Amino acid sequence: MRPALAGIFVGGAGARMGGIAKGLLRTEDGVGIVERLRGVLERLGLPVVLVGARREYEGLGIEVVADEPSGIGPLGGLLALLRRAHDAPALALACDMPFVSGALVERLLEASNDAPIVAPRRDGRWEPLCARYEPARVVPIARALASTREHSMHRLLRDCGAVELCLRPDEAGQLRDWDTPGDLVDREAR
């Protein structure tokens, strides 16, 4: 089996952040979130692609995988990532999670190989964009869901029988995302 393919999801409109490309927001060390995640993933030997086409990321020199189909949110991006991964596992990461560590990614990759999807939960809800997917087992269910009006990633995890990666106390904070301007204010207050 080939190494996992890591996809950083950058296609969202960022409406709650005024339309900015959230993955370009800088962390405390001055590095953009996407660049930070790229470094984490490459240190683990994982090939990295950006999922979703936004011009703001063109200068990063990272291969882009456009949503397919487009217009259905992250599910379209996931389908494109899974097609690009072929038979290798696919790791999906949101571009607005600046705290994800290499250790957490390793745990996702090493978790139960029998599971079609492995993902943690935060506040009782799945984190579908911090998860490992097995293409052969997920693509048929994702395609069927894409053909309906409900494109819920949470439903995909439920329908596929996702397995929870139980977070350690020191890992829960790694799932914090920068979704609103208030999240950035909270970051600066720390």
- Those residues whose C-beta lies under 8 Å from the C-beta of residue 17, and which sit 6 or more positions away, are 178, 179, 180, 181
Report the chain's mean pLDDT, rounded to a whole number: 89
Q: What is the pLDDT of residue 3?
A: 84
Note the pLDDT tens digit of each residue in 81-129: 999 999 999 999 999 999 999 999 999 999 977 899 999 998 889 999 9
Over 60: is that where the pLDDT of 189 sits?
no
Share of the chain above pLDDT 90, in %: 67
Which of 75, 103, 78 lies closest to 165 in space, CA to CA?
103
Note the pLDDT tens digit of each residue in 38-92: 999 999 999 999 999 888 889 999 999 999 989 999 999 999 999 999 999 999 9
Containing structural domain, residue 97: 5-189
Q: What is the pLDDT of residue 11?
A: 78
CATH of residue 114's domain is 3.90.550.10
Helices (H), strands (E): how many in the chain? 6, 9
How many domains, the chain? Answer: 1
